[in-house]
Amino acid sequence: MTSTENPKIILLAENDPALADRIKTRIQAETKLTVICAGDHAETLRLLSQYPQGIAVALAEYRLPGATDGDTVLEILSSNIPVVILKSIHDGGFRGRPASWLVVEHVLKEKPRAIEMAVAAVGRILRNRRTRVLVADSSPVAQETLSHLLAMHCYQVDSVSHVDQALEQLARHPDTRLAIVDINVAGLDGVSLVQKIRDSHPPDNMAVIGTSAIADNKIAARFIRNGANDFFIKKDFLPEEFFCRVNQCLDQLDRIASIRETAIRDHLTGLYNRRFFFDVGNKLFAHACRQNSPIACAVIDIDHFKQINDTFGHKAGDLVLRQVSGLFRARFRESDIVARIGGEEFCVLGLNMDEANAFRIFDQLRKTVAASQLDIGDSDPVRISISIGICALRLNSLEEMIQAADVNLYRAKSSGRNRVVIS
């Protein structure tokens, strides 16, 4: 593509100002990217010239003033920019036109969910830049064709011809989310490769699409039976069909990931929940014991939280919980576990965290929370503080460390609150 590695601009070419404003507002709220708008063909061309390498995706009206049907879309596609076409039910098609594979979605403006569909299509292209796809096919022509299509939709693509190369790429990039495997792959065959892929990449982590140049139902059945999510015949295929299958597979993975996140997250704060903390925390504790590495456990309590609820109401209490949780997320590493384990109580498991670092890190957190405040309606800002008990000695179990941290939390609260006590 001619755009930069991570372009920050979305082009919206739409003649209806009200519709354009609604789409722009939604996209900017959900993506935090800049949306530039054009109301006719000439303005669209000017913006394409002004931002030759900064446009990530475009939404374009099919019949834009100043151009014949589809000409504006063609101009955008000629710049290798993916396009979401906004069209009326009476507008013509676009299939078979030059670079039509760059069309991400055809959105009928008369549909009640038109804006949602358009915004979702933009989000898909933006997510594609973080999505790695493996193409395994012994045919150089097929490899190039599929890889080119995927790259034009901003996917990160690895292309191989041999089973061993495919497995090496997956070992090097375990975050690969989709494999497109032809029945003909050097070294074994596509079905055998799918079996090997499923040994290390279960269906809820990676999708597989089988392909063949031959219309043979037996091949399709073998692929599906051995772990493929879908199958398509690549001879004279429509790019639109190809991307429909790709999008369906990836959307299914997103739904599974969303369900999984819901199961392990606290609904109010977005932090991990109690069950996740103990499930994963016990595994990390065992790992720290095997590696003889330091580990620290902290129990945190919001001071006078009942008083906040009683004085300002439970909605204010929820706001306090969210604000404090946001400060926790900003302070700790991804490798640490930060969980809400009940009410106003939180637990943190810090990996490779010795006693000196633990006290420094948690005392900085205490100071950050104490310096914050929360505006609630017409009342004076609410001041917040936390008390923290830490166990930085690796005891016999995670439960014992939590109990020791809880004793230190009691000492912190008994000695005046807004304190850190460590042992």
- Topology of the domain covering 9-127: Rossmann fold (3.40.50)
- pLDDT value, residue 110: 86
Q: Which two tokens stand for residue 328?
A: 């926790």
Angstrom distance (rounded) from CA 219 to CA 232: 10
For position 42, what pLDDT does the model report? 96
Residue type, 344: E
Please list the residues that pair with 301 across neighbouring strands.
Answer: 345, 387
> Looking up tokens 């790709």, which residue turns up?
246
195 SS3 class: helix
Q: 3-class DSSP state for residue 36?
A: strand
CATH of 130-261 given 1.10.150.20, 3.10.180.10, 3.60.20.10, 3.40.50.2300 = 3.40.50.2300
pLDDT tens series, the chain, 423 aa:
333 357 889 999 999 999 999 999 999 998 889 999 999 999 999 999 999 888 999 999 988 999 888 889 989 988 889 999 998 877 766 666 666 778 888 899 888 899 999 999 999 999 999 999 999 999 999 999 999 999 989 999 999 999 999 999 999 999 999 999 999 999 989 999 999 999 999 999 999 999 999 988 999 999 999 999 999 998 888 888 899 999 999 999 999 999 999 999 999 999 999 999 999 999 999 999 999 999 999 999 999 999 999 888 889 899 999 999 999 999 999 899 999 999 999 999 999 999 999 999 999 999 999 999 888 766 778 889 999 999 999 999 999 999 999 999 999 999 999 999 999
User: How many angstroms separate the CA atoms of 181 and 177, rounded?
Assistant: 13
Helices 239-264, 140-152: inter-axial angle, 10-degree rounding: 60
- What residue spans define the domains of the chain? 9-127, 130-261, 274-422
CATH topology of domain 274-422: Alpha-Beta Plaits (3.30.70)
Residues 156-160: contacts with CB under 8 Å, at least 24 apart: 156/129, 156/130, 156/131, 156/132, 157/132, 157/133, 158/132, 158/133, 158/134, 159/134, 159/135, 160/134, 160/135, 160/136
pTM of the full predicted structure?
0.76
The per-residue pLDDT for 97 is 66
How far is residue 249's CA from residue 247's CA, in Å, rounded to a whole number? 5
Report pLDDT for 380. Answer: 77
> Residue 102: its pLDDT value, please?
80
The answer to whether domain 9-127 and domain 130-261 are alike in fold is yes
Tokens of 95: 């299939």
